[in-house]
């Protein structure tokens, strides 16, 4: 990444859809991913290998992976498809499918591969959220990371880590200790994660507390190049906090087309910051994303219609109204 280039991680097909009550067909999910693949995005979260009884909407992830291996959508650039795995079983399920299809993870940057397969694992910065989201303590969740990273490395699968509730917890409130977030982030990186996305799950983050958190991460020796920021926009602060992250030197941001989403274990949390809004803000600041804003806006409007929900992207609506 050059200083003025930002990589956007599109999490709509996973974070965006996982909380939708109405069942979404496999065809719609694949169509969403196929459309996103043509916007210039380079990383798309495509699903998660979690028990259907916990997150029913993600039950079709196996089929999505199979499809993306066999018939990846056309794209002018290489795309990394990412899958969430909460434990070793999730990764084993993924690897089983890849092995059955004779697929390799591919390696980013190698032009031989049009797509690569990556995973994300997750931990939380508070005990209460860890229990709710993963049914275990923070320490236990970090123990779960070891075998996941070991198998991923063996299979050449790139690993992303998440640290949830970094700027506020639905159970413990807004004042999550930055040092705790920094400790967990550092631990995930030491354990072999290739990048860690620090998540404001509840959208409680403010500009000053985002800055405080980023300073704590830097003070703990964490390089900006190893960091991503994942803002939910529940309080409308995601873009302000993005600018704080950008000024601090972070160059990877997560977002969701149409502002889709919410978290099943964070009551009242609305979607991720809309990709359209993020792209518009970044471009206005002279940053490059490689993303076609008009195309992204059309997708935000299309998927909102499909889901029968309002389009949560102001920029998307304004762009299409022009």
Q: What residue ranges bind ligand HMG (CB under 6 A)?
A: 15, 18, 48-51, 54-55, 84, 86-87, 89-90, 93, 122, 133-135, 162, 164, 199, 201, 230, 232, 263-264
Phi first, then psi: what are they for 47, rounded to 5°?
170, -170
CB of 47 to Mg ion, least distance (A): 14
Quick note: the x/- pattern for Mg ion over 294-313, rule CB under 5 A, is --------------------
> At its nearest, how many Å lie between ligand HMG and the CB of residue 308?
22
Partner from Mg ion, ligand HMG, none binding residue 133, C-beta < 5-8 Å depending on class = ligand HMG
* Secondary structure (DSSP) of 72-100: PPP-SS-EEEEEE-SSHHHHHHHHHHHHH
Task: Give 217-253 as a 3 state SS string.
Answer: HHHCCCCHHHEEEEEECCCCCHHHHHHHHHHHCCCEE
- Alpha-carbon distance values, 306 to 136, 258, 297 (Å): 36, 12, 14
Determine if 233 is a binding residue for Mg ion (CB under 5 A). no
Would you say how long the chain is, in residues?
322
Phi, psi of 3 (to 5 degrees): -60, -30
Give min distance, CB of 90 to Mg ion, in A: 17
- Catalytic pick among 85, 263, 273, 279: 263
Report helix, strand or coil for 27. helix
> Has 263 been annotated as catalytic?
yes
Stretch near Mg ion under the rule CB under 5 A, chosen from 7-15, 18-26, 96-104, 174-182: 7-15
Q: Which residue has the closest beta carbon to Mg ion? A: 15
Instruction: Please choose which of ligand HMG, Mg ion, none residue 180 contacts, taking the beta carbon within 5 to 8 angstroms, the exact cut-off set by kind.
Output: none
CA distances from 11 to 53, 116, 274 (A): 21, 16, 10
Q: Which residue number, 93 or 212, has a Cβ lying nearer to ligand HMG?
A: 93
Residue 276 interacting with Mg ion (CB under 5 A): no
Instruction: Select 40 or 261, whichever has its Cβ closest to Mg ion.
Output: 261
Residue 73 or 205 having the CB closest to ligand HMG: 205
Which CB atom, from 15 or from 233, has the smaller least distance to Mg ion?
15
Looking at the chain, the number of H-run helices and the number of E-run strands are: 11, 8
**Exposed (0-12), middle (13-18) or buried (19+): which is 175, by Cβ within 10 Å?**
exposed
Kindly state the smallest distance separating residue 232's Cβ from Mg ion, in Å: 6
Query: Which does residue 225 bind out of ligand HMG, Mg ion, none, counting CB within 5 to 8 angstroms by kind?
Result: none
The one of Mg ion, ligand HMG, none whose footprint includes residue 25, by CB under 5 to 8 A per kind, is: none
State the nearest-atom distance from the C-beta of 3 to Mg ion, in Å.
27
Tell the smallest beta-carbon distance from residue 17 to Mg ion (Å): 12
Largest Cα span, the chain: 51
Q: Which CB atom, from 15 or from 277, has the smaller least distance to Mg ion?
A: 15
CA–CA separation, 175 vs 299, rounded Å? 36
* Nearer to Mg ion among residue 226 and residue 233 (C-beta): 233
By CB under 5 A, name the one of 6, 13, 15, 277 that touches Mg ion: 15
Within the chain, strands assigned E span: 7-10, 43-48, 79-84, 115-124, 158-164, 195-200, 227-231, 252-255
65 touches which of Mg ion, ligand HMG, none (CB within 5 to 8 A by kind)?
none
Kind of pairing, strands 79-84 and 115-124? Answer: parallel
Please say whether the dihedral angle defined by the alpha carbons of residues 45, 51, 52 and 56, taken in this order, is positive or negative.
Answer: negative
Residues taking part in catalysis: 263
């Amino acid at each position: 990444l050059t200083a003025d280039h930002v990589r956007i991680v599109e999490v709509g097909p996973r974070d965006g859809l996982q909380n939708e009550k109405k069942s979404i067909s496999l065809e719609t999910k694949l169509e969403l991913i196929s459309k996103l693949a043509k916007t210039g995005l380079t990383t798309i979260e495509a699903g998660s290998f979690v028990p259907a009884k916990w997150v029913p909407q993600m039950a079709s992830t196996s089929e999505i992976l199979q499809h993306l291996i066999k018939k990846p959508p056309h794209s002018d650039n290489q795309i990394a498809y990412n899958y969430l795995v909460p434990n070793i079983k999730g990764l084993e399920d993924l690897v089983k499918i890849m092995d059955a299809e004779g697929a390799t993870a591919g390696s980013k940057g190698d032009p031989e591969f049009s797509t690569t397969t990556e995973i994300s694992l997750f931990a939380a910065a508070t005990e209460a959220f860890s229990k709710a989201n993963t049914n275990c303590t923070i320490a236990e969740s970090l123990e779960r990371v070891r075998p996941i990273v070991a198998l991923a490395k063996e299979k050449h699968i790139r690993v992303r880590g998440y640290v949830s509730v970094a700027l506020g917890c639905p159970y413990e409130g807004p004042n999550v200790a930055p040092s705790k977030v920094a400790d967990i982030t550092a631990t995930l990186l030491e354990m072999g994660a290739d990048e860690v996305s620090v998540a404001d799950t509840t959208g409680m983050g403010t500009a000053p507390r985002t800055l405080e958190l980023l300073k704590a991460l830097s003070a703990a020796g964490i390089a900006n190049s190893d960091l991503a920021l994942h803002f939910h926009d529940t309080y409308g602060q995601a873009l302000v906090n993005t600018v704080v992250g950008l000024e601090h030197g972070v160059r990877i941001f997560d977002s969701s087309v149409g502002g889709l989403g919410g978290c099943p274990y964070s009551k009242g949390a609305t979607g991720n910051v809309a990709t359209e809004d993020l792209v518009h803000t970044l471009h206005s600041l002279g940053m490059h994303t490689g993303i076609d804003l008009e195309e992204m806006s059309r997708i935000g409007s299309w998927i909102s219609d499909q889901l029968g929900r309002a389009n949560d992207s102001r920029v998307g609506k304004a762009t299409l109204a022009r």
